[in-house]
Amino acid sequence: RRAAVLISGRGSNMVSLIEAASASGFPADIALVLSNRSDAAGLQRARAAGIATAIVDHRSHPTRESFEQAMDAVLVEHGIEFICLAGFMRVLTDWFVERWAGRMINIHPSLLPLFRGTHTHRRALEEGVLIHGCTVHFVVPELDAGPIIAQAAVPVIPGDTEESLAARILVQEHRLYPHALRMICDGSARLENGRVVFSGDW
């Protein structure tokens, strides 16, 4: 299975996916890293790992649709079957989401459906939750709302700051995302009629 990782920034989740996929027996290859920003730090890390990279700069497109058509063309050109959004900071149109329905996943730094959107760690601390975490879900048009494939929980510890909490969760993100990619590529998590159907050894 050929998978692409879409990034806009540092790409630490991308690195965890590349490392996991390089192990023998993993059901996907990371065949492409695509960024909408030429200065995304993750691009260097992808190149260093020998992965093909592409830049589709949203600012050089007049509309969201033309930006996404350009991305889609690059993905098709590289024979991509699955997409992992990993810190990709562009909202996607219904057209793109539907085109990749059941084949595009995202990692979000909260236990969805709590804390959709940005600044999840700050909001978790403000709300005083004692359990926080991360979620991998299929992408649907509504932001951070898709069917859940996998989650990891972490404790919130007295004295936590946004940074300390983010760091504790990031460790779990790096475990969770490869696990979820494996599940969609080997068919043990499938999107059917808007729900995730799990199969395999449970």
Q: By CB under 6 A, name the binding residues for ligand GRF.
A: 7, 9-14, 42, 86-87, 107-109, 134, 173
Nearer to ligand GRF by Cβ, of 28 and 86: the residue is 86
The response to whether 106 counts as a known ligand-binding position is yes
Give the shortest CB-114-to-ligand GRF separation in angstroms. 14
Nearest to residue 93, comparing CAs of 60, 117, 57, 66? 66
Give the shortest CB-38-to-ligand GRF separation in angstroms. 15
Distant-in-sequence, close-in-space partners of 2: CB < 8 Å, separation ≥ 6: 28, 29, 31, 32, 78, 79, 80, 81, 82
What whole-number distance in Å separates Cα of residue 144 and Cα of residue 87?
A: 12
Nearer to ligand GRF by Cβ, of 109 and 178: the residue is 109
Respond yes or no: is residue 174 known to be catalytic: no
Q: In sequence order, what are the beta bridge partners of 132?
A: 154
Nearer to ligand GRF by Cβ, of 73 and 174: the residue is 174
The response to whether 12 counts as a known ligand-binding position is yes
